[in-house]
Structure 1
Amino acid sequence: MAFNVTTKGLTHIALLFLSASFIAVFFLSTTFEYTVILRDDHVYLYVALMCTTGLFFLFLAYQLCFYPHYRRARTTPTQTSTLSLRTIFIIGLVARILFVPSNAILEDDFYRYFFDGSVVTHGENPYSTSPKQVLGNDNIDSVKSEDQVEPLSDIAKAPLIHRVAYPDIQSIYPPVAQAFFALSTIISPYSVETWRLLLVFMEVLTFYLCLKLLRLYKRPNVLVILYWLNPLVITEGINAAHMDILLPPFLLGTLLSLHHRRFGLSALLLAGAVGIKLWPILLVPVVVARLLQTAKSTKEISSLVTFIAIFGAVTGMLVLPQLLSVSYYSGLHQYSQYWQVNSLLFTYLNELLVYAYELTPIEWILAPEELSRLIVATAVLVFAFSQAFMQYNSHVIPKHDSPNDVFHADRELVNQWLAIAFLVFILSPTGYPWYTIWFIPLLSLGITRANWAMLLLTISLPLYDLRYPEASSVYFDAIVVPFSFAPVLALLVWQYLFRRSQIATNK
């Protein structure tokens, strides 16, 4: 199937430059060997190359998705060149396979995945087993002797176990993610190529589901490139091998199941998403509100009962082992209490509270950072339930016998999920670039004039890696982080206000 777009050759030029950029990043990755001392000039070159690749990607997205002639071309083909869906798929797949044998650039999280997978396959609990405990190091302060486990000889002898970051901390990753780690370990222990191939498989599944949903939502197939050819997704997902790639198929599968009224399957898939990253539990109120809305109009509550029962039971079984293992050195406790990096709004909130504490003579119950995290968590919860309230009171009721109503309700659900996922990312104390993988698939499904600015993060978030060179790390929080987020947020606010003014004018 060809996309009917008037491009005048610009599409192919942008695609050529984008492909060349992927190849350049691959060759640059050969200089990022784990055992070699990091060179600042290589980091600067990598950041510049990724920002430039993001520009090529946005230009291509503009030519294919936002070009002014696009709507007219859909009904009156006048294109001078075409770009097939097959071509887009092959380019994205080749780019991913290209990075399978590459050196990971500035990232080492996958060593933790390998360790966790080894612990699980040995029948141990990854939430109570740290690398230092496995190595049997009695001399560290962070592990008490009575908490140590019997050294697991196979794991302790693994040559890469010493590369696991924060070795005194137990795993943070939920059980479904642990299952994928274990699967990779069973196939080939401590093999980054095996892990990457598993991620590529999940990426292909995401492409398929995204394309299927675009067709159901009556949106152009070409929008799939916003995820499939996104350089941030490809490099952070495959080269850096982050496990966040596992999440999109579960989220998109949930949306597809809801559309086809397979409520048990949708509950199972959404519980699986929570079992990969805990935050998708915030999407549940919107789904429940939609099912309540349907039950209100049809007097049928079986779908609601089925969803709540299955989701509650499966989620409880998945997350309970991790919650019961929470201790001071558990990853969940450490991350939720102390992690803070590359965050704009949270940092400003925390600094504001520190200043307020200094001005007030009273004794505060919580420390500034603790109160900041509480405020952010409350804000996200309130927003999620406000979206659920809007869903419940929506005038669009998804009646099964009215395909048009189902179509509009589906798109409304996607937009609400996108808003929640983006808010979680932008308010989080940790604004890692690979967290964009959470919401970019949803953006492909629900992109509008009011939210397309989210794509600009593809250009700005590679600046995160400037935290590694010592020279730029001095200015990282003061200059780099604001430059990474502030322009995007400002444009999103402007788009929102402009849209509101247009709605008020039309009334």
Structure 2
Amino acid sequence: MKTYLTLSLYSMAIVGMGYFLPRSAFIPQLTLYSISFCAYLFLVYTFKNQKYSLNFILISALVLRLLLMGAWPVLSDDFYRYFFDGQLIGLGINPYAALPGDLLANGTIPRSVYWETLLDKMNSPNYFSVYPPLHQLFFWISTWIGEDIFHNIVSLRSIVLVFEMINLWLIKELLINLKIPTYRLAWYAFNPLIILELTGNLHFEGMVLTGLLLALYFYSRKNVKFTALGWSLAVGIKLSPLLTAPIWIKSWKKSDFIKFTLITSLALLVLFAPLLLGGQLANFYTSFRLYQSSFEFNASIYYGLRWFSGFFIDYNPIGLLGPSLNFFAAALLLGIGFFKKTLTTSDLASNIVWMYLVFLLLQTTVHPWYLIPALGISLFTANYLFIVWSGSVFLSYHAYSQQVFKEDFRMIALEYLLLLIALVLIGYRYHKNKKSQIPH
């Protein structure tokens, strides 16, 4: 009975956030998110200590996601650019070739309420599209239904839900194959950040996770070809999984590594062919670099360095700090790849999680949905950092509580303080367990 009451309370919190509260209503949003996160923890505890079938977990998870089927994305406005790019493809226009505002001004796209709404509401009208071609494919599919934003939302949300069901199945299979308690599926199935950011706000990190899970699934079976294709799918959706590339250096014997590299290279050439052959790689790279060196949101180490630099310089050093931190992150990730040998699937998963943590802590922009791939992979490890972070990262949305975007660094400090406490506790537990294994 407590389980059903908790699911009902969770459902009401999700519905309240998805249908009735704007992004600017931070305190009510945070209250409902806190309720849903507490319900989430209770559900995981219940599934750990009571024998509920995996089918019950899967059906309950699907119902929670379906509750948001008719909701307008609340916490993000990225979807306006999704549909703008998708409609351009439908008209035979390369989304990397021109700026959105120019297309309307020169009459390339029609003047209508639909197109003008997309243009007015999007957050990147002065940038070339930074979404890879495979990402664009799903934008295009979501616009087949016509020029109606709500119908486009439902169409894309249906695609996201399909991938979510694939993720839940893959997690279940991997847990069983790796002989890990299957209740851990609930850590992903009921996480409110997952439900709100994927099903609710239509972000594609769930599809990135699908590729990484496929890579883990086939790696556990020593299938080089399909491991390579799974990882290539993740990179094809978003470039961020490239951060895990060094992990494969010590994951294969020499002949398999060569095979993996060749298949991955070929797959990525195919997936990025529309961009490479379209002659717009320079536009794509320009916007990507501009994003890396101009945008700031919910950073940790970068904000500390920026504050410290204020004692010596009187301008924002993001143009220097952003690339420098990326270079440092690349060096650390290469170090993990070279010095942390991967022996098992769980080892591979653990190294991927740590690589994501290093990468995100050194970024200038960390949106809440960036955590999702690492959170999903962490289920196969003893590392609960990203689960903790998924609870505190919602504090970053305080920046939208006013008409003018403004971050409250007390909120960000609290978010990362909770993450630091979790990191210390995990490190202490690891040290304690390792010490207890030493023979006396």
TM-score calculated relative to the size of structure 2: 0.89
Give SS of 2:52's match.
strand
Where do residues 308-327 of structure 1 align in structure 2 (5 Å cutoff)?
A: 308-319=261-272, 321=275, 324-327=280-283
Deviations 1:376-427 (CA, angstroms, capped at 9, x unpaired): 21232222222222344x6x4xxxxxxxxxxxx1111111111112222232
Q: 2:248 aligns with which of 283, 287, 295?
A: 287
2:327 match: 378
Does structure 2 retain, via aligned residues, the 8 Å contact 1:133–1:168?
no
Q: Which amino acid aligns with 2:238?
A: K
Corresponding residue pairs, total? 431
Deviations 1:220-245 (CA, angstroms, capped at 9, x unpaired): 11111111111110011111111222
Q: 1:240 aligns with which of 176, 180, 201?
A: 201
Deviations 1:60-91 (CA, angstroms, capped at 9, x unpaired): 324444xxxx6xxxxxxxxxx53221111111
- Residue 22 to residue 123, structure 1, CA distance change in 2 (3 Å): same
Q: 1:480 aligns with which of 386, 411, 417?
A: 411
Matching of residue 336 in structure 1 with residue 267 in structure 2: no
Q: Which amino acid aligns with 2:130?
A: I
More deviation in 177-186 or 374-383? 374-383
- Residue 84 to residue 502, structure 1, CA distance change in 2 (3 Å): closer
Deviations 1:423-470 (CA, angstroms, capped at 9, x unpaired): 222322112111121211101222x1xx22431223212222211223
Give SS of 1:82's match.
coil
1:14 deviates by 5.3
* Structure 1: distance between partners of 2:42 and 2:360: 25
2:367 match: 432
- Residue 414 to residue 453, structure 1, CA distance change in 2 (3 Å): closer
Q: Which runs of 5+ in 2 are unaligned?
A: none
Does structure 1 retain, via aligned residues, the 8 Å contact 2:209–2:376?
yes
Sequence identity (%): 23
More deviation in 180-189 or 206-215? 180-189
Does structure 2 retain, via aligned residues, the 8 Å contact 1:55–1:459?
no
1:30 match: 19
Matching of residue 114 in structure 1 with residue 83 in structure 2: yes
* Structure 2: distance between partners of 1:328 and 1:120: 16
Matching of residue 152 in structure 1 with residue 109 in structure 2: yes
* Structure 1: distance between partners of 2:244 and 2:175: 20
2:336 match: 387
1:373 deviates by 1.8
1:307 match: 260
* Structure 1: distance between partners of 2:281 and 2:385: 40
Matching of residue 413 in structure 1 with residue 345 in structure 2: no
Q: Which amino acid aligns with 1:338?
A: S
* Structure 2: distance between partners of 1:333 and 1:367: 17
Q: Which amino acid aligns with 1:389?
A: F
More deviation in 237-246 or 181-190? 181-190
- Residue 330 to residue 13, structure 1, CA distance change in 2 (3 Å): farther
* Structure 2: distance between partners of 1:495 and 1:27: 34
* Structure 1: distance between partners of 2:154 and 2:351: 36
- Residue 245 to residue 129, structure 1, CA distance change in 2 (3 Å): farther
Q: 1:125 aligns with which of 85, 88, 94?
A: 94
Q: Which amino acid aligns with 1:246?
A: M
1:506 deviates by 4.4
Where do residues 137-286 of structure 1 align in structure 2 (5 Å cutoff)?
A: 151-153=108-110, 158=115, 160-161=117-118, 162-189=120-147, 190=149, 191-286=152-247
Q: 2:402 aligns with which of 470, 479, 502?
A: 470
Does structure 2 retain, via aligned residues, the 8 Å contact 1:18–1:53?
no
Does structure 1 retain, via aligned residues, the 8 Å contact 2:392–2:418?
no
Q: 2:34 aligns with which of 41, 48, 51?
A: 51
Where do residues 393-408 of structure 1 align in structure 2 (5 Å cutoff)?
A: 396=343
- Greater C-alpha radius of gyration: 1
Matching of residue 495 in structure 1 with residue 430 in structure 2: no
Q: Which runs of 5+ in 1 are unaligned?
A: 1-11, 33-37, 71-80, 138-149, 296-300, 359-365, 397-408
Q: 1:92 aligns with which of 46, 61, 76?
A: 61
* Structure 1: distance between partners of 2:436 and 2:285: 56
**RMSD, matched Cα:** 2.8
1:7 match: none
Does structure 2 retain, via aligned residues, the 8 Å contact 1:285–1:388?
yes
Give SS of 1:341's match.
coil
Matching of residue 352 in structure 1 with residue 308 in structure 2: yes
